[in-house]
Amino acid sequence: MPDPDFLRPELVCPAGTPAALRTAVDAGADAVYCGFQNATNARNFPGLNFTPAELEQAIGYAHAREAKVLLAVNTFPPAGRFDLWRDAIDVAARLGVDAVIVGDIGVADYAARTYPDLRLHLSVQAGASSPEAIRFYCQAFAVKRVVLPRILTVTEIAELHREIPCEIEAFIFGNIGMMAEGRCSLTNYATGLSTNMDGVCSPAADVRYEEDEDSTLTTKLGPFMIDRFACGENAGYPTICKGRYLCSSKPGGYYAFEEPVSLNLSALLPDLMRAGVTALKIEGRQRSRAYVKAVVSAFRKAVDDIMASHEPALANLLALTEGHKETQGAYRSKTWR
Amino acid sequence: MLHSSRVEPSVSPLRALLNNIPNLLLAVTPLAIIQPILGHIASHVALDHPELFARLGSHARKRFMVDPIDLPFVLILSPDNNRPTLRAYRRYEKPAHDAGIAGKFFNLLDMIDGSQDGDALFFSRDLRVTGDTEAVVALRNALDDFEGSALESVIGSFGPLAKPAALAVSGMRALQSRQNHA
C-alpha cells in the first residue's frame, strides 16, 4: 500500500559511459545524468563521457524503458569560448534530452531563449541556496528544478520548498566536497586548470601516487603533497579539499577543509521526501559500472520500500565510500565540521 | 614490491603449499607458452571493442604494466589500435612502461569485468597506481564501457577451448576464495 504522505521521488543516477547509463537504467534509475566529452561538464575526465552519437543511442535506450536522460552542461564558459557551450545546448535540444542541467547564466539564457521548450535544471555548480537566488533563475530562465548545494539541513530544505516555485533535487550519496560548488579555485591554484571552466577537479595528468617501502602512500597534485596514508590506512581522492595539512594549531597532519568521506543519506530518505524533495541524486559519473549498479539498486529498493510503507532495507555501501567513511553532512546538523 | 595492507590469516604449511601449487606451476611455466594466449586476448578485445581506442585517445600509444601481485609475472599492455599487444614478463625483467596498476589477480580481473569498482579498491589500498595517472584513468574508463562481461567475451573467443578456459578461471577463483577464507 503506497504511503499517502510521499510523492514518488525521481531517482537521478550518474553515468560516465554508455555502458554505465544502461546499467543505471537496468538497476532502476528514473533519470540518468551524463555529459559530453569536453569542458562543458564538471566531470571532464580522460576516457569518460559521451559523444553526441552515443548520447543519441543512450536516449533511445532510456526512453524505451521509461527513464529520462539529463545532460550536464554545467561549467562556466570563459570569454571567447562560448561556442562550445552553445553547441552542447544545440545538440541536447536536437537529440531530445529530457532536461539540461546548467550552471552559468549565459548558458541558461541562451537555452531559454533559443529552445523555450527545453527543460532546464539549475546545477549545484550555480550555488543557489536562497529563495531569492532560486526564484531569480526560475523567473529569468524558466528553470524547473534546482539542485541544492550540500549546505542545507533537511529543515531548511523544507522551508525553502515552501518559498520557491520549482522542484528540488538533493544529493543523497557520493562524493562530498567543501560545498563551494562553482566557486572552488583550489585546483586552478595548484594546476592552472579550472574545475569550473575546464570541468576538471584534480586533473589526472597532475596527480602522482608514490608508495614507499613501508607501504606509505603519498598523493601529490602538481607540486603539492596532499596526503600520506600509512600502511593499511584507507585512502581518499587526490583533491586539495580532502588533503591533510600541517597547521600550527593542530598536532600532526590535519584535515583542514574536509576528511576523505562520502555522503550517505539513506537513513534520511523519508525526511527528505517529507521536506518536498522531488528528485534524489546519486553522485559519481566518474565511478564504474559496478558502483552504479550497487548504489542505484540499493536506493531503488530503499525508495520503493518507503513508498510501500515498509521499513527500508538499507544496503551496506561503506566499501564504495571514500576513505570507507560516511556522513550525513550538513543535512543532519550545521554543527558538522 | 607491494606489501599487503591486510592481516593474512595463519595457514598450515601443508595447506599453504597446496594452495600455492598453481602459482608454483606458473612460476616454472615458460612465458613463451602464455604469450600466444595473451596475444589472442589483445586481438580479440581490439576487434570486438574498437570503441575502446576512441576513449583512450592519445593514451592508446602508452605502455601499461598490469601487475597481478599474486602471480609470478607482470603483463605489459600496449593498446595501440594498429597492433595491440599483451605480453607477460618476469618481474626481474623490469619492463619499461608509462603507467602501472597493481593488485590481486582476481581484483584486477573483476575490475576489468565491471563487477568491482576501481575507486573502492583504491580507497581500501587493494589497488596501486603508479606513473602516468591520466593514462590509467583513461584506460579504466575505456574498459568500463564494455558491454556485458569482458571475461565471458574473451573466454568465448577461444572457441572449442572456451569450456576448459572457463573451468580453469572458475577453479582458480575457487582456490583464491579458499585462500582468502582459510
Nearest residue to A275 via CA among A30, A32, A9, A29: A9
Average pLDDT of chain A to the nearest whole number:
94
Is the CB of residue A232 less than 8 Å away from at least one CB of chain B? Answer: yes
B84 Cα to chain A: minimum distance (Å): 18
For residue A19, which residues of chain B lie inside 8 Å, CB to CB? 114, 144-147
Please identify which residue in the block is written with the cell numbers 561556442.
Answer: A83
The answer to whether B165 and B143 have CB atoms below 8 angstroms apart is: no
Q: Which of A169, A158, A153 is nearest to A328 (CA)?
A: A153
B133 vs A22, A208, A287: nearest CB: A208
Q: Which pLDDT does position A39 carry in this prediction?
A: 97
For residue B1, is it within any domain?
A: no
First-to-final CA distance of chain B? 24
pLDDT for the residue A335: 75
Query: In this structure, are residues A126 and A182 in contact, taking their beta carbons and an 8 Å threshold?
Result: yes
Render each residue's pLDDT in chain B as its tens digit; 182 residues: 333 344 445 667 777 776 777 778 888 889 999 999 999 999 988 888 888 888 999 999 999 999 999 999 999 999 987 889 999 999 999 999 999 999 999 999 999 889 999 999 999 999 999 999 999 999 999 999 987 788 888 888 888 888 888 888 888 777 777 666 65
**pLDDT value of position B182:** 59
pLDDT at B11 (0 to 100): 65
Q: Given A207, A290, A323, which is nearest B114 (Cβ)?
A: A290
Q: Average the pLDDT over A85-102 and give the result.
A: 98
**Average pLDDT for A88-112:** 98
Out of A17, A211, A319, name the one closest to residue B120 (CB): A319
Confidence (pLDDT) at B151: 82
Are A279 and A303 contacting, i.e. CB atoms less than 8 angstroms apart?
no
Contacts of B114 in chain A (CB under 8 A): 19, 288-290
User: B55 CB near a chain A CB, below 8 Å?
Assistant: yes
Q: Which of B124, B89, B77, B86 is nearest to B103 (CA)?
A: B124
Question: Contact at 8 Å (CB) between A293 and A20?
Answer: no
Instruction: Specify if B182 maps to a domain.
Output: no
| Residue among B6, B54, B141 whose CB faces A45 most closely | B141
Contact A25, A295 (CB under 8 A): no
Helix H segments across A170-323?
A: 186-191, 269-274, 289-307
Q: Residue B1: its pLDDT value, please?
A: 35
CA distance A227 to chain B (A): 13
Output the nine-digit C-alpha cell for B110.
573483476
What pLDDT, on a 0 to 100 scale, did the predictor assign at position B7? 44
Q: What is the pLDDT of residue A198?
A: 94
Which residues in chain B touch residue A16, judged by CB atoms under 8 angstroms apart?
A: 141, 144
Contact A49, B144 (CB under 8 A): no
Cell digits for A332? Answer: 543532519
Q: How far is residue B76's CA from residue B15's CA, in Å, rounded to a whole number? A: 32
Give the per-residue pLDDT at A19.
Answer: 96
Give the minimum alpha-carbon distance from A163 to chain B in angstroms, rounded to a whole number: 39
Contact B133 A207 (CB under 8 A): yes
Structural domain contains residue B10? no
Question: Which residues on chain A are in Cβ contact (under 8 Å) with B140?
Answer: 47, 288
What domain range is B136 assigned to?
Answer: 32-148
pLDDT at A215 over 60: yes
Q: Domain with B107 in it: what CATH number? A: 3.30.1050.10
What ipTM score was computed for the predicted complex, to two decimals? 0.93
Residue whose C-alpha cell is 531569492 = A132
Q: Write the secondary structure of chain B as one string of H (helix), E (strand) and C (coil).
A: CCCCCCCCCCCCHHHHHHHCHHHHHHHHCCHHHHHHHHHHHHHHHHHHCCHHHHHHHHHHHCCEEEEECCCCCEEEEECCCCCCEEEEECHHHCCCCCEEEEECHHHHHHHHCCCCCHHHHHHCCCEEEEECHHHHHHHHHHHHCCCCCHHHHHHHCCHHHHHHHHHHHHHHHHHHHHHHHC
A140 phi, psi to nearest 5 deg: -75, -35
Judged by a CB distance cut-off of 8 A, whether residue B2 touches chain A is yes
A105-114 helix and A131-141 helix, angle to the nearest 10 degrees: 30
* Inter-chain residue contact A235 with B59, CB threshold 8 Å: no
Give CA–CA dist A208/B129, Å, rounded: 9
Is B50 within a domain? Answer: yes
**Residues of chain A contacting B6 with CB distance shorter than 8 Å:** 232
Contact A16 B6 (CB under 8 A): no
Written as nine digits, the cell of A74 is 554545467
Q: Give the chain A residue nearest B123 (alpha carbons).
A: A235
The single-letter code of the amino acid at B165 is A
- Which pLDDT score, from 0 to 100, does residue A161 have? 97
Q: Of B107, B145, B151, which to mutate for an interface test with A (greatest number of A Cβ within 10 Å)?
A: B145
**B101, part of any domain:** yes
d(Cα A125, Cα A102) in Å, to the nearest integer?
8
Domains, chain A, in order of start with CATH, read 10-176+261-332 (3.20.20.70), 197-254 (no CATH)
Tens of pLDDT, residue by residue over A257-281, are 888 999 999 999 999 999 999 999 9
Specify the pLDDT at position A332.
87
* Distance between CA atoms of residues A144 and A148, nearest Å: 13
- Give the number of beta-carbon pairs within 8 Å between A and B: 114
Consecutive H or E run containing A263: strand A262-264
Grid coordinates of A145? 528544478
pLDDT of res. A4: 59
Interface of B with A in 17-46 (CB under 8 A): none
Q: How far apart are CA A9 and CA A31, in angstroms?
A: 11
CB pair distance less than 8 Å for B3 and A18: no
Q: Cβ contacts (< 8 Å) between A217 and chain B: which residues?
A: 125, 128
Q: Is B39 within the bounds of a domain? A: yes
Torsion of CA B141, B73, B34, B26, to 10 degrees: -130
Q: Give the least confident one: A16-30, A101-115, A170-184.
A: A170-184
Residue B177 lies in a domain: no
Q: What is the pLDDT of residues A111-155, one digit of tens each?
A: 999 999 999 999 999 999 999 999 999 999 999 999 999 999 999
Residue A302 CA to residue A308 CA, distance in Å, equals 10
A320-337 per-position pLDDT tens digit: 999 899 999 999 887 766
Q: Does A39 touch chain B (CB under 8 A)?
A: no
Encode pLDDT of A12-29 as tens digits.
999 999 999 999 999 999
For A17, the closest chain B residue by CA position comes to: B145
> In one letter, which amino acid is A93?
A
Distance in angstroms (rounded) separating the CA atoms of residues B66 and A288: 19
Q: Are B109 and B69 in contact (CB under 8 A)?
A: no
Q: What is the dihedral of CA A173, A175, A179, A185, to 10 degrees?
A: -160
Query: In degrees rounded to 5, what are phi and psi of residue A305?
Result: -60, -45
The answer to whether B120 faces chain A, any CB pair under 8 Å, is yes
Q: Within a domain: residue B92?
A: yes
Instruction: Indicate the helix (H) or strand (E) that contains A208.
Output: strand A207-211
Q: What is the pLDDT of residue B24?
A: 80
Distance from CA of A115 to the nearest CA of B (A): 31
Helix A18-26 vs helix A289-307: angle between axes, to the nearest 10 degrees? 20
Tell me what pLDDT residue B2 has: 36
DSSP of A14-45: E-SSHHHHHHHHHTT-SEEEE-BSSTTSTT--
Q: How many domains does chain B have?
A: 1
- pLDDT score, position A321: 93
